[in-house]
Amino acid sequence: MNEEKKLKSVERESFLELMQDGFTEILAGMIFLVFPAFFLEPGFLFIFVIFYIIFMPQVVEAIRRKYTYPRIGYVKLREGTPPKLTLEIPVAVLIIFVTIIAVLYIASMGVIDRLFIMKWMPAVFGFIMWGPSLYLKDKTGQNRYYLPGALMSLTGVVISLADFLPAELGTSIFMNGWGLAFTILGLVRFLLFIRKYPVAGSPEDGRSEQ
């Protein structure tokens, strides 16, 4: 049991180290920034999903091999060991499942149209983002990762309930606002990361002179 806890702690520390490069936030920002384009050109959604699923992991891995791993190394633990189920993961799945069921139920009532979808899109996405928040909480053990889910749910509901905002404008504010926030946060974290962890032997690495 102690060995299991120690291994879990090492995994969380390694994941937190990797999270410092800011790419998680940058990728989240990209999703939110391009999402409004799906309504203008639905075919763009298919192209983006294909690119994001097939090519994006390879692109991120290539970038991390160049900028991240040379600075903090690469650790892969417990190859082939099934992950231990914790409370956060089933709760995240339940939240996403209930949200989707609620949307489908409303759609079946015949009261949903494009304007309705646009109006409540911020609230729906806000609650869905509890999924990634709970996942990151489980992977890192840090309660601070509850904050994005809470803030995005709150702002999503507020924007959706704001009758003075046109539906499309409200969705655009939510998506672009959070997209910019995540992207800027990710870029700041990346710049701090490369300053904190210079590549060994580089001019910035004062230790190379010792």
- Residues of the chain with confidence (pLDDT) below 70: 1, 3-4, 38-53, 74-113, 200-210
3-state secondary structure the chain: CHHHHHHHHHHHHHHHHHHCCCHHHHHHHHHHHHCCHHHHCCHHHHHHHHHHHHHHHHHHHHHHHHHCHHHHCCCCCCCCCCCCCCCHHHHHHHHHHHHHHHHHHHHHCCCCCHHHHHHHHHHHHHHHCHHHHHHHHHHHCCHHHHHHHHHHHHHHHHHHHCCCCCHHHHHHHHHHHHHHHHHHHHHHHHHHHHHHCCCCCCCCCHHHHC
The reported pLDDT for the residue numbered 8 is: 73
Provide the pLDDT for residue 85.
47
Residue 203 is which amino acid?
P
pLDDT at 159: 93
pLDDT value for 127? 86
